Amino acid sequence: MKAVPYTIVGFGGVGKNHALAACQAALYFPGEWIPQLAGVMNRTPHAAPLPGVPHFTDLAKMTGECKPAFLDLCMPHHLRKDAFLFAAEHRLPVYCEKPLADTLRTAEELAEIAKDLPVGLAFVYRYLPAVSLMKENLSLIGNPIDFKAVFFHDSYLLPRPKTWRMTCENGGGALLDLGVHFLDLLAYLLGPLTYESGDKGIYFKDRNEVEEFGRMVLKAPICSGTLEVSRIHATEEGGKTVTLYGERGSLFIDLEKPYELRHYDLASRTTQILRASDAFLSALLYPAPRNSLGFYQDAHTCSLMHFARLVATGEPDPLLPTLQDGLAAQKLLAQILE
């Protein structure tokens, strides 16, 4: 195993996913560059967040003692500027959770601060095997006509304790928290996006101040389409899908079925399921089904491994979302949110 030490800044829910990614990578990809967790920082002390992993409340102290190859920023997105300034001062690469920031102005400031650093964004859905299968098989449907992307969640449907994600001042809401994932995913599949129109709203006005749902009409170089995002839609299945319609049929992926692409062929009126092979998964650095911890965790593991490899080797990685990708998504969001 070739270890790449890193430290996590911010150890809430997503920070734990980033920590688990290191364990999963080490178990199932022993011959690759593996992110190795060297330390955890949080604003409030923990008794023992992880056995054998030191905990800090000061970024400079953690960096000095742990000597990380990169910083993994998992704090809320409105609290990242100081960490970016520290990384720039110390020439430390940055792996950053999505979205890049709470507002476009702040995102542009961060992009300027980190312009000379290796930076990766955790747009983890890019790494699902089904996404790569779709990108490689676009020609099966001829010229694209339309796309429809849906990201439905039910997390605001029932009353819940208020968190920073649910406040306007901290940049919460369905579009910024969930929609940003698909804005990047669609741009990766179809090319740069432009915003044409959209709307957003709040159904439970008595308890939420951030938008619970939103719709965007977007134009890609090869076709236009729609993105619909919600935190108040309850679905048994099929709540995270992308469908691309073309002259000769359609391609469909359900993110909760990450190993397969469904191809509907108009001429034969049949559906073929294309599945990722073991060799395909190995090259992608994505866990095989037998080693899966669920599509969400698997995608985080794959994403973090790609960034660790970039930091270790310096070799370009066309799959890795960049600082500019994060800024592009933020510019789209600003047109409907700001």
As a whole number of angstroms, the distance between CA 32 and CA 317 comes to 15
As a whole number of angstroms, the distance between CA 97 and CA 77 comes to 8
Beta strands in the chain (DSSP E): 2-9, 33-41, 55-56, 70-73, 94-96, 119-121, 144-152, 194-201, 213-219, 224-230, 240-246, 249-254, 260-265, 270-275
pLDDT in tens, the chain (338 residues): 699 999 999 998 899 999 999 999 999 999 999 999 999 998 876 655 788 899 999 999 999 999 999 999 999 888 899 999 999 999 999 999 999 999 999 999 999 999 999 999 999 999 999 999 999 999 999 999 999 999 999 988 888 777 766 676 666 789 999 999 999 999 999 999 999 999 999 999 888 888 999 999 999 999 999 999 999 999 887 799 999 999 999 999 999 999 999 999 999 999 999 999 999 999 999 999 999 999 999 999 999 999 999 999 999 999 999 999 999 999 999 999 98
Locate the domains of the chain by residue range: 2-124, 129-285
Please tell us whether the domain made up of 2-124 is placed in CATH 3.30.1490.20: no
Residue 328 has which token pair? 């592009």
As a whole number of angstroms, the distance between CA 253 and CA 259 comes to 9
Burial class, 338, CB count within 10 angstroms (exposed 0-12 / middle 13-18 / buried 19+): exposed
Name, in order, each residue with C-beta under 8 angstroms of 161's C-beta and a sequence gap of 6 or more: none
Contact 62, 39 (CB under 8 A): yes
What CATH number does domain 129-285 carry, 3.30.70.2390, 3.40.50.300, 3.30.420.40, 3.30.360.10? 3.30.360.10
Contact 259, 275 (CB under 8 A): yes
For residue 170, the model assigns a pLDDT of 64
- Which residue pairs, CB below 8 angstroms and at least 24 apart, start in 287-292? 287/24, 287/28, 288/28, 289/259, 291/24, 291/27, 291/28
Q: Examine domains 2-124 and 129-285 and report if their fold is the same.
A: no
